[in-house]
Amino acid sequence: MKENISIKLTTNKLRLQECIDFVQDNSCGGIATFVGTVRNHTKGKEVKQLEFSAYTSMAIKELQKIAEQALDEFDILKIAIHHAEGLLQIGEVPVIIAVSSVHRGASFKACEYAIDTLKETVPIWKKEYFKDGEVWVNAHP
Amino acid sequence: MKENISIKLTTNKLRLQECIDFVQDNSCGGIATFVGTVRNHTKGKEVKQLEFSAYTSMAIKELQKIAEQALDEFDILKIAIHHAEGLLQIGEVPVIIAVSSVHRGASFKACEYAIDTLKETVPIWKKEYFKDGEVWVNAHP
Amino acid sequence: MNIKTLFFGVTRDIIGEGSAIFDLNEDLTIADFQNILTKNYSGLTDIKSFAVAVNEEYVTEDYKIQENDIIAIIPPVSGG
Amino acid sequence: MNIKTLFFGVTRDIIGEGSAIFDLNEDLTIADFQNILTKNYSGLTDIKSFAVAVNEEYVTEDYKIQENDIIAIIPPVSGG
């Protein structure tokens, strides 16, 4: 793994400060982050909890690709992408992305690129648990 | 101050987790943040430390206006804008902005809008200290 | 040849297990394999719209399956 | 009338203090006041390009200064 990329897919609680500390650099002028949180509703139904499962080995490769593409495409210094696996409660954090850059515009663009791409390409699946059952999100497009 | 706005201008150390906790909401799907950091160089010169001074009462009003405009203009839930005053060392944090929303695009846009506008309108001034002197940033446009 | 196939998300629930071994003829494409799967598992009606990875990389449906390939059926992802 | 004026950033360094009281005639605009300041302080050459606030709100240079106004000279800001 490159020195300017931190990738994690873990059943432990994600820690924002760890991502910030990783991307922080004395030559950086700003850090953009995205912190996903578990919403308590979806399409009007109350969500009780979520479960994330992954094709772990491939998911890590795809996360790594996103980080490398972000470094290629945007003028950024470092990037951290951490994603949770397993059961998450409302308000808990499934994903954290942090990006540092000398000039802030690049961090924002790279951060949004990373979360948008993650949601399209990384083999991770979310199951929503309702009072009356559970459903794989997006399973039937 | 409204319940969905947190404004601070303080000589204390800024805390990201405090901003996250403020904007976090069980109905939010994501939080975008911007964390400013003190760069160790500017135009090729090494910066030793920074000092922020403010027209405090007006600065707080202007920060409040930015937060209100962001809530008006973007589909966001809550916003926190915290800015530091006084001496800061390299790597320390002069500004934190955190924005929550149901859908993440709005958070990114509002966060970038807030930092861009802050840098244009809020009466806060940064002095850079070099080995051989000090200078007010942007003083002579 | 025996080809290991991995199932995830909704597909795993339909198949009832996370992986299976299929004895496939040579020269089959991913599209051919998808047809075999839909014949064997009536619940896999959406599989034609699902992505497929071979050895942890996405492939297109004209990819020719080779000895020792590990195939993964990737229903629409929903991470983040 | 006596008008309190606040100086910040580079302007404070040029003036040598953070505030001053000026005895102004009635009906002066901000533009008039800027001319008075440049006459009194030779270092304030850039003041015409600086923003001005009255009672903590930005005003344009045609604003007419009134009794009890507190004026603030706002050199280019550099927060964030």
Rounded distance, CA A139 to CA C43, Å? 13
Alpha-carbon D64 to chain mean position = 13
Residues of C in Cβ contact (< 8 Å) with A137: 78
Residue D78: list chain B partners with CB under 8 A. Answer: 119, 124-126, 136-138
* Number of other residues whose CB lies within 10 A of the CB of residue D50: 19
Confidence band, pLDDT 50/70/90 cuts, at residue D28: very high
Low-confidence ranges of chain A (pLDDT < 50): none
CB contact under 8 Å between D72 and B55, yes or no, is: yes
Q: Is C55 helix (H, G, I), strand (E, B) or coil?
A: coil
What are the backbone dihedrals phi and psi of residue B130, each rounded to the nearest 5 degrees, phi first?
-105, 175
Q: Does B54 touch chain D (CB under 8 A)?
A: yes
Instruction: Convert the pLDDT of each residue in C61-79 to its tens digit.
Output: 999 999 999 999 999 999 9
User: For residue B36, what are the contacts with CB-CB under 8 A and spacing of at least 6?
Assistant: A29, A30, A104, B93, B94, B95, B96, B115, D80
Residue of chain B whose Cα is closest to the Cα of A24 = B91
CA distances from D67 to C10, D4, D25, D30, D41 (A): 74, 10, 10, 13, 23
D46 or D7: whose pLDDT is higher?
Answer: D7
What residues in C contact A121, CB-CB < 8 Å? 58, 77
Angle value at C-alpha B28, between B1 and B22, nearest 5 degrees: 35
CA distance C4 to C68: 8
Confidence (pLDDT) at B1: 56
Cβ atoms of A129 and A49 closer than 8 Å: yes
> Which residues are bridge partners to B54 per DSSP?
B124
List the 7-36 stretch of B: residues with Cβ below 8 A of D.
36
Q: Do C79 and A61 touch (CB under 8 A)?
A: no
Chains that touch B (3 or more CB pairs under 8 A): A, D
Quote the mean pLDDT of chain C: 95
Q: Does A81 touch chain C (CB under 8 A)?
A: no
Averaged confidence pLDDT in chain D = 95
Closest partner CB to A27 (pick from B28, B41, B108): B41
Q: How confident is the model over A6-29, as pLDDT tens digits?
A: 999 999 999 999 999 999 998 888
Indicate the helix (H) or strand (E) that contains D33: helix D30-40
In this prediction, residue C23 has a pLDDT band, given cuts at 50, 70 and 90, of very high
Give the three-state DSSP class for A103: coil
Q: Indicate if ipTM > 0.95.
A: no
List per-residue pLDDT tens for chain B, 141 residues long. Answer: 579 999 999 999 999 999 999 999 988 889 999 999 988 888 888 999 999 999 999 999 999 999 999 999 999 999 999 999 999 998 899 999 999 999 899 999 999 999 999 999 999 999 999 999 999 998 765
Long-range CB contacts (within 8 A, 24+) of B60-65: B60/B7, B60/B9, B61/D56, B61/D57, B62/B121, B62/B122, B62/B123, B63/B7, B63/B9, B63/B118, B63/B122, B64/B1, B64/B5, B64/B7, B65/B121
**Confidence (pLDDT) at D32:** 96
pLDDT at A141: 52
**Contact of B111 with D80, CB cutoff 8 Å:** no
Write down the pLDDT at residue A57.
98
Mean pLDDT of D10-21: 93
For A108, how many CA atoms within 13 A lie in the half-sphere containing its CB?
A: 23
Query: For residue D22, what pLDDT band results from cuts at 50, 70 and 90?
Result: very high
* Residue of chain C whose alpha carbon sits nearest to that of A81: C80
More confident residue, D2 or B43: D2
**Selected residue of A7, A42, A55, A96 to mutate for chain C interface (largest C Cβ count, 10 A):** A55
